[in-house]
């Protein structure tokens, strides 16, 4: 897919800061799929230009966060994240 | 308990103070950002361009300057077919405005107090956030043992070449090692291939010293280097990566 860029958690930092008030890349996630715990900055990010951002677990490829944005409305899907630890 | 300061990221208008050519394909943009609150070495900003019909394109660019500088400097590589970078490198002039938000990111960042030894691995314009770390190290008077392994296609495409020469000549604790993958000057004595496990073993501090590694560049390079470093024995938690994607833009 030419429009899909495989990046890492740093790339999601800007878009995720549109909805979260904390620095996202240093937050710890726990993956609902495999239980891996790591900093979000180390996760994989797939940016689909014009559509949104998917943050995936590097171990099991489970979608941790899906963020889509259209006409000033955001949809944040956190089903794949068991919890986030911030600060 | 850490007190969180809720602050949503917002767009603001920066002014381009100066455009500095670095190599045939890269330029540095010296910006003036009203109310700039400073940054950490390794952080980036998002840049947004808006066409007359309202179409918007947005990309991330690493900050090249040290946090000790008052205003941020970005270095941008011209990407053929890119939506944003050709405008930044070819059209933008001093005095122009630019929509920006940031600084962003805290994961791929290094401060002198984090210590080392530090191994920085760059592919092409992936050197930009690592240069911010090298500049921060110098500005902070840090003597943390630091090695920069930097892969470029040719000698002419090495960004910040002279500054890196100057900084590494000044201090024994900073070493800069180049590899040139496509063409080389006749008398080139350095590496002449893509970064591989063997090269990382020769250049990188031994795993026993628990080095902090920062790897930035195109996705294939970053993934190959990060995998090799872990294979050599580096702690995966201490290998931080920033991928530019296949093209950037």
At residue B56, the pLDDT reads: 83
Distance of alpha carbon B166 from alpha carbon B45, whole angstroms? 28
> Among residues B21, B88, B77, B83, which one has the least CA distance to residue B57?
B83
Query: Is residue B145 packed enough to be buried (19+ CB in 10 Å), middle (13-18) or exposed (0-12)?
Result: middle
Q: What is the pTM of this model?
A: 0.91
A50 lies within 8 A of chain B by CB = no
The C-alpha of B243 sits at a distance from chain A's nearest C-alpha, in angstroms, of 5
Whole-number Å distance between alpha carbons of B123 and B222? 8
Residue A21 is predicted with a pLDDT of: 86
- Please state the ipTM of this predicted complex: 0.81
Q: Is the peptide bond before B87 cis (omega within 30 degrees of 0)?
A: no
Interface of B with A in 96-125 (CB under 8 A): 101-102, 104-108
Is A18 in Cβ contact with B4 (below 8 Å)? no
> A10: which chain B residues are within 8 Å (Cβ-Cβ)?
44, 60, 105, 107-108, 242
State whether residue B130 is helix, strand or coil: helix
Chain A window 5-44: which residues touch B at a Cβ cutoff of 8 Å? 5-11, 13-14, 17-18, 21-23, 25-26, 39-42
Instruction: Among B48, B104, B217, B224, pick the best mutation site for testing chain A contact (most A Cβ within 10 A).
Output: B104
A79 reaches B (C-beta below 8 A): no
Interior CA angle at B220 toward B136 and B81, to 5°? 85
Supply the range of the domain harboring residue A81: 4-85
Using CB atoms, which residue from B60, B106, B244 is nearest to A23? B106
The per-residue pLDDT for range B79-120, each reduced to its tens digit, is: 888 888 888 898 999 999 999 999 999 999 999 999 989 999
**Separation of alpha carbons B95 and B185, rounded Å:** 38
The helix/strand/coil state of B96 is: coil
| Helix ranges restricted to H, A1-87 | 9-17
Per-residue pLDDT of B171-229, as tens digits, reads 889 999 999 999 999 999 999 999 999 999 999 999 999 999 999 999 899 999 999 99
Q: Do B105 and A22 touch (CB under 8 A)?
A: no
Instruction: Give B219 to chain A, closest Cα distance, Å.
Output: 7
The count of other CB atoms within 10 Å of the CB of residue B196 is 13
Which domains occur in chain B, in start order?
12-104 (2.40.30.10), 112-243 (3.40.50.80)
Contacts of A21 in chain B (CB under 8 A): 4, 6-8
Structural domains of chain A, count: 1
Tokens at residue B249, please? 């833009």
Predicted local distance difference test score (pLDDT) of residue B10: 86
Kindly provide the b/e burial profile for residues B15-27, where b requires at least 16 CB atoms within 10 angstroms of the residue's own CB: ebeebeebbebbb
**What is the predicted pLDDT for the residue at B245?**
59
Please state, in angstroms and as integers, the Cα–Cα distance from residue A80 to each residue in A23, A31, B134, following that order.
Answer: 19, 6, 37
Tokens read off for A46: 């797939």
Q: Say how many C-beta atoms besides its own lie within 10 A of residue B161's C-beta.
A: 17
Q: Which residues pair with B46 in a beta bridge?
A: B60, B101
Whole-angstrom distance, CA of residue A67 vs CA of residue A47: 10
Q: Is the pLDDT of residue A2 over 50?
A: no
- Please tell me which of the candidates B6, B240, B245 has its beta carbon nearest to residue A5: B245
Q: Is the pLDDT of residue B249 over 60?
A: no
């Amino acid at each position: 897919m030419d429009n899909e860029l495989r990046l890492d958690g740093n790339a999601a930092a800007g878009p995720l800061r549109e909805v979260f008030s904390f620095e996202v890349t240093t937050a710890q996630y726990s993956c609902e799929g495999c239980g891996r715990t790591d900093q979000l900055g180390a996760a994989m990010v797939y940016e689909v230009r014009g559509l949104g951002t998917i943050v995936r677990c590097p171990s099991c490829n489970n979608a941790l966060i899906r963020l889509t944005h259209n006409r000033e409305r955001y949809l944040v899907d956190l089903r794949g994240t068991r919890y986030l630890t911030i600060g | 308990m850490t007190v969180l300061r809720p602050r949503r990221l917002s767009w603001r208008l920066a002014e381009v103070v100066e455009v500095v050519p670095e190599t045939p394909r890269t330029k540095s943009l010296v910006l003036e950002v009203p109310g700039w609150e400073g940054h950490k070495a390794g952080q980036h900003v998002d840049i947004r361009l808006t066409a007359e019909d309202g179409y918007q394109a947005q990309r991330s660019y690493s900050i090249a300057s040290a946090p000790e500088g008052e205003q941020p400097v970005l270095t941008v590589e011209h990407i053929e077919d890119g939506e944003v970078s050709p405008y930044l490198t070819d059209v933008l002039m001093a005095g122009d405005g630019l929509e920006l938000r940031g600084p962003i990111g805290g994961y791929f960042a290094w401060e002198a107090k984090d210590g080392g030894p530090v191994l920085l691995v760059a592919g092409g314009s992936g050197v930009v956030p690592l240069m911010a770390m090298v500049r921060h190290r110098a500005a902070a008077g840090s003597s943390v043992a630091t090695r920069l392994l930097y892969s470029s296609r040719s000698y002419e495409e090495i960004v910040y070449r002279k500054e890196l020469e100057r900084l590494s000549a000044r201090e024994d604790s900073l070493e800069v090692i180049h590899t040139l993958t496509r063409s080389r000057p006749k008398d080139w004595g350095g590496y002449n291939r893509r970064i591989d496990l063997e090269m990382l073993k020769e250049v990188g501090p031994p795993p026993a010293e628990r080095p902090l590694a920062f790897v930035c560049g195109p996705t294939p390079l970053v993934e190959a280097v990060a995998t090799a470093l872990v294979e050599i024995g580096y702690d995966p938690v201490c290998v931080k990566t920033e991928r530019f994607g296949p093209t950037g833009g």
